[in-house]
Chains A and B, each alone.
Chain A
Amino acid sequence: MSTDYINDAGRKAKGERPYFLADQQTEQLLNITMALAQELAVTRERMDTIERLLESGNGVTREAIENYKPDPVAAEQRQLWHQAFIARILRIIQQNREDITERANGQDSMDAVVVKVST
């Protein structure tokens, strides 16, 4: 027995994979997009580490990057960055949620609004 740690990491779990969006390929594209978002977040966290090491003036080496542990203030700032990043990526979902309530509260369609302000 042996393992290819790159290919095996991405193996499928046994069992029918559910799809939720109207189109399966659109959902596959969502998965690719979210994976890219994850990797961008990883790169951003690494840049943050390099910036903080530079500020500390103790030298930036790959070893220093690997061993870096944020203090509580830095940890909170980095987690807040992830939150803001995710909120930006998923803005359309937030607005979808707001739209549901806006319609429930009686917001007119744009067709109706145009007629209303034009007459």
Chain B
Amino acid sequence: MSSHRKVPPTWDKVGKHAIFPEAKHDEIARFNFLANLNMHLSSNVMPGIKETYEQDALPAFKAEHGREPESRHEVREMMKNAPYYQWWSALRRSTMEMRQQAGRSLVLRQIDRLNAVAAEYNEGADSLKLNPQATIPDYVSVVDTHCMPGSYHTSVVEDDVSAGANYDSGLFVTTVGQLGSMTDGGGRAISDWLQAEHPDFTPKRILDIGCTIGHNIVPIAQAFPDAEVIAVDVSAPVLRYGHARAKALGVNNITFMQVNAEDLSQFADGSFDLITTSMFLHELSAQSMPKILSEISRLQAPGGLSMHLEQPQYAGRPVFEQFVRDWDTWHNNEPFWGTMHDVDLVAMIDGTGLPASLQFNTAVTAKVDESIFPKTETGNKSEDFGRAAAWNVFGAWKPKASEQESVA
């Protein structure tokens, strides 16, 4: 027995750059409280949900129906009146709303300064291409994504970056530092995987779709400094912030563009060697997801790679685990989350002209950032389903021109 407890990194360890909001003492303390509360809910409270399921709800269900529940929807019906689950859900939602208020109060009080700093990087830059005529798709505006008031796309004032600054400041709190000091664990996982598994692959043109503040494309752009990188999103506030952020970090090979990826006709067939998305597909809709995957297939160069980073698919997982993973669909403004995690990805990508024989699927994890976590703490495997820094990566290689006939 040991009295040692793991503690999350204090928020002052978060990676900063010129466009990062400046935090006062009490704002940091608020984030510290919230990170510890998130950790408490996932480590101490959440495991009890499975206990009340197995010890109370499941025996009652079996007594009534003479069988086990067959779907996560049945489990959700069983659990919605379970008091312990109600408490955890109420506390989790409350914690997320407090995190939003904490981040927004930090950012909005300095909105003029942040927008002025962003403007210094953005004005006249060829590497930021906004489109004032762009419309926000219905599936983006129907609810504010994961409970961010105004989501990624709302400008509070003209030329606003506050949505990006709020997102950047709070990811460290929500993920308790697991994505690293720059909250770029997803992008680093992709670049590390490429380096380890495909060391000879050196893409010259890279496209990242749904980039938001560019936190995941920056490490990929850094891994391929000679590549021309294009990062697209529909939301101007995060593109303004992401562009300034990349510049502030000294990353100059990314062009940020406001484009709806359902129509990327401005780019020629086969014009990208690497196409990535990170925690993006679940923000789409049943109509738009296959359209975007088709555009990706069209844009992929012969010999090129498309890859997507997401939480694992539901298929084959116990219905209770599916139910827990599905919480965000119903309670965190992620309406496509559950449907996307049910999709037969192999079939859907096959439908874009990239058959199963060209596809791959693997699990990756974020490397622990030793600048914020001492080495001895890297053994922490407790998982908060839906947020853990462990992902499913899938995609497809397009055959080189010389190989294409044999595939066809």
Contacts and interface: CB of A to CB of B under 8 A. Distances in A.
Interface stretch (B63-71, B102-110, B237-245, B256-264): B102-110
A30 B90 CA distance: 8
Interface stretch (B140-148, B282-290, B308-316, B358-366): B140-148
Interface in A25-79: 27, 30-31, 34-35, 37-38, 41-42, 45-46, 49, 65-66, 68-70, 72, 75-76, 78-79
Contacts of B10: 70, 75, 78-79
Contacts of B142: 15
Interface string B16-60: 000000001110011011101101100011011001100110000
B93 A20 contact: yes
B87 A15 contact: no
Contact of B144 (A5, A15, A86, A87): A15
Interface residues of A, number: 55
A114 interface: no
A100 B51 contact: yes
Contacts of A11: 104, 149-150
B25 A66 contact: yes
Nearest to A17: B93
Given A12-B149, A79-B10, 14 more contacts: A9-B101, A13-B147, A13-B148, A13-B333, A15-B147, A34-B37, A38-B37, A49-B25, A75-B10, A86-B37, A90-B45, A96-B84, A97-B45, A100-B84
Closest 9 CB pairs of A and B: A15-B143, A97-B48, A9-B105, A79-B7, A5-B108, A45-B29, A104-B55, A13-B144, A82-B36
18 contacts: A8-B104, A11-B149, A13-B149, A14-B149, A17-B93, A21-B87, A21-B90, A34-B37, A34-B91, A37-B33, A41-B32, A45-B29, A66-B25, A75-B10, A82-B32, A83-B5, A86-B37, A100-B51
